[in-house]
Structure 1
Amino acid sequence: MFIPTRAAGLDALHEFVPRAGADYRRDRNHDLGPARTNVSGLSPYIRHRLVPEQEVVDAVLDRHSLHAAEKFVQEVFWRTYWKGWLEQRPEVWRRYRTDVRDLLGGDLPDGYEDAVAGRTGIDAMDAWVRELVDTGYLHNHVRMWFASIWVFTLGLPWQLGADFFLRHLLDGDAASNTLSWRWVAGLQTRGKTYLATADNIARYTDGRFSPTGLATRAVALDEDPFPPAAPIPDDDDPAAIGPRSGLLLHDEDLEPVSLLAPLGGAVPALAATAVVGAAAARSPAGASTLVEEFTAGALDDAASRALDADGRAAEVLDPSDVAAVVDWATSERLDTVVVPYAPVGPAQERLDALRSALAETDTGLVTVRRPWDSRAWPFASRGFFPFKERIPGLVRGR
């Protein structure tokens, strides 16, 4: 269904752009099953930045006014908002990771195995499990229903549901996935939960499902408080890029041309390029075969486009072995490894380890953050609605 290349992502964008205005606003909440045309299907490409957000929004606004395409543009910015919010509260991610490790490492709760195998007896839920496992994708409205039924009807830990999604969604990322599950459970916006109802499901699935036995109340979960929000870390200084630098792309950002363009002459001719990614790092239980294959394909595609100064394609490195990246940098005699900034999540955890390992060989690691993120993330300090007011200015680049 999803071909893991930038070219396929651009084709999907081109096909969707005419429908990004009134059609999307009218039909976007309806789940018509796997053969859907009412949503963009771009999220796996945006998640890996095979097609970055700026490029998507620019293409849509070349065809529609911001007013006409407001709903779609807001959906793109939701992902940006979640990333900026988590960037200021990394402990939320760390606690989630600890909880998942503890839950998977202990006695699994009653009903969990049946839930992830599609044996709950709730027809809609079981069909959605099969769709997720078979395609790596679920409609956004379905994700909300699924999470609500998981937490409030089945009584299962939200962390295990978020982990199940992250292992199977082609577009699964740390911020959007974790924080959306927290929102449904009443943790993200304190006390505000989302309750799935049979009538709502029947309406927006055109009667395909109308499940019985769903919870009629959604009592918000509770948790220990987190530390106050911290400032977003500064990006590295491009002046620290040495004369013999190499570019290392990772699975959070696989489009090198638009990544490096704002730096202009700060990046010298690249002596070497490489790509690295680890879908298995999403969870202690790894990732699905579909996610592994899509990520591997996206890395191969990026490698074919990330050429060094001599026209060599990028080397695909072993993501589980920091030493392999250090060996690459050493063999290419690099003084600096340039990488896309990795937001809070598995890629950032790997880059933290890599920075320390490279330092032992006197090789610098310089991160490059896209202007899209640098502009938007500071406004993600509170709820989405104050952030939403900033979208017109963010679209205009200020």
Structure 2
Amino acid sequence: MAALDAFVPRAGRRYSEHRNFDYGPDDRTNISMLSPYLRHRMITEQEVIARVLAQHRFGDAEKFIQEVCWRTYWKGWLEMRPSVWTGYQTDIATLPRSAGYDAACAGRTGIDCFDAWTVELKQTGYLHNHARMWFASLWIFTLGLPWQLGADFFFHHLLDGDPASNTLSWRWVAGLQTAGKTYLAQADNIFKFTNGRFDPTAFAHSAGPPSEGPVAALPIKAAPPLPTGAVGLLLTEEDLNPESLDLGGMHITTVAALPAVANRAAAVTRFTTAALREALLRNAALLPTPAVMLDTADCDSLIAWAQTHQLKVIVTAYAPVGPASDRLAILAPALALADIILVPIRRAWDSAAWPHASKGFFAFKDKIPGLIGV
């Protein structure tokens, strides 16, 4: 909330004019730095946009609002194409790690900007969006490394590592999101938008064609009906703002949280775990029973919690395609065998926006004014 308060006055024309500059980790005053909180929905897209529009005209803040809505678009795009996530996970598990991959991950490629961004990413858990694009282009086209391993490297280290935004942004650079269009980093662009910090020379000047055909979009499934009566609330790292969920006629009697997704950098795990605990404490203050961080994400610990509190229904904020969704897909059948129903609650924002992500972002962009009511 403090970060949001500090940024809102700068969300208008100033943001639009300066957002593409990467001045380095010691000067981020030209961007919001809200992405780690939006990624876990500690603050929501609607909340951020409403706060911005309270101080700026839509035309002045449109570029920032579009950037917030890119997250929503990516979520909807992947929700309609879950096979892209499944294939990406398979590739991560099977692709070989070469000496070139090891050098890239260690920041020992000899490309000064790339190596500096590698160090920055590991030390801070963040890279400017422009730097992420340059990094991915160099990874894929200059170093000749699989985009999937680069996306996984980012997801491992980014505090805002988002299954949809991260994976699909890497696919976009590789030329798989927009047919026939790759993103090739240019030396003059890097020099200009790093304010002269980097002046690279040794990188690829051409990009090969993508090797994947179009992926058909599936329709967004209807949201399940909301239960009524006493229920337990299960938090995942996908949505840590349960206070703003539409709970209808439900009465929350107890709260638990699944632990952070494993196999990420220690700093990412600490940040995500702290966010989970903070959400638990916020909501536990309203309940008569203690809130619980489950020791593991396995079925036994979740069933034990539910049975301790005599739960027949557990609700959780809808988890879009990604690791949390994969976890819940395993847990739900096991809970059902114990006569416990797991019900996802999907936000009205997602239900309204995701169906518009069937094509490219420019088609989605035209829907933004209607989504935010301007």
Q: TM-score range by the shorter chain?
A: over 0.9
> Which residue identity lines up with residue 265 of structure 2 in the other structure?
S
SS in 2 for 1:244: strand
Matched-pair contact (CA < 8 Å) for 1:187–1:220: no
Q: Which residue of 2 aligns with 1:11?
A: 2
Aligned to 2:110: 121
Aligned residue in 1 for 2:241: 255
- Which of 220, 227, 238 aligns to 1:232? It is 220
Structure-2-length-normalised TM-score: 0.97
Matching of residue 353 in structure 1 with residue 330 in structure 2: yes
Cα distance change on mapping 1:330 and 1:242 into 2, 3 Å: farther
1:271 maps to which of 253, 263, 268: 253
Aligned to 1:41: 33
Q: CA deviation at 1:236?
A: 1.5
Q: Deviations over 1:319-375 (max 9, x none)?
A: 432211111011110010010000000000111111111101111111101111111
2:358 counterpart residue number: 381
Deviation larger for 306-315 or 290-299: 306-315
State the Cα distance separating 1:46 from its structure 2 match.
0.3
Aligned to 2:54, what secondary structure does the other structure show? helix
Shift of 1:263: 3.5
Task: Name the counterpart of 1:27.
Answer: 18
Show CA shifts across 1:240-262 (max 9, x none).
x2533111111000111101xx3
Residue 294 (structure 1) aligned to one of 247, 271, 279:
271
Residues 278 and 319, structure 1, Cα contact 8 Å, conserved in 2: no
- The Cα offsets for residues 190-243 of structure 1, whole Å up to 9 and x where unpaired, read as 1100010111000000000011111111123212664x21111222211xx253
- For 1:221, the equivalent position in structure 2 comes to 210
Q: CA RMSD in A?
A: 1.3
Alpha carbons 1:148, 1:185 under 8 Å: kept: yes
Kept in 1, the 8 Å contact 2:125–2:267? The answer is yes
| CA 1:357–1:308: 2 relative to 1, 3 Å | farther
1:11-49 CA distance string (max 9 Å, x none) = 000000000001100100000011211000000000001
* Percent identity over paired residues: 56
Which of these residues, 52, 56, 59, is aligned with residue 48 of structure 2?
A: 56
2:128 corresponds in structure 1 to: 139
Q: Deviations over 1:41-73 (max 9, x none)?
A: 000000001111111111111111111100000
Aligned pairs for 1:324-363 within 5 A: 324-363=301-340
- The code of the aligned residue for 2:253 comes to A
Paired amino acid for 2:250: V
**Aligned partner of residue 30 in structure 1, secondary structure:** coil
Name the CA distance, whole Å, in 2 between partners of 1:301 and 1:162. 28
Structure 2 vs 1, CA of residues 171 and 310 (structure 1 numbering), >3 Å: closer, same or farther? closer
Runs of 5+ consecutive residues of structure 2 not aligned to the other structure: none
- Does structure 2 conserve the Cα–Cα contact (< 8 Å) formed by 1:317 and 1:324? yes
Number of residue pairs the alignment of both structures matches: 373
Counterpart code for 2:258: V
Cα deviation for residue 278 of structure 1 reads 2.6
**1:183 aligned to 154, 161, 172, which one?**
172
Distance of 1:13 and 1:220 partners within structure 2: 41
Query: Deviation string for 1:370-389 (max 9, x for gaps)?
Result: 11111100000000001000
Amino acid at match of 1:19: R
**Distance (Å, rounded) in 2 between the aligned partners of 1:116 and 1:224:** 29
CA shift, 1:271, in A, is: 1.5
Query: What CA distance in whole angstroms lies between the structure 1 residues aligned with 2:192 and 2:242?
Result: 43
2:112–2:198 contact (8 Å) kept in structure 1 = yes
C-alpha distance 319-385 of structure 1, shift in aligned 2 (>3 A):
farther
Match of 1:159 in 2: 148
Report the AA paired with residue 61 of structure 2: A
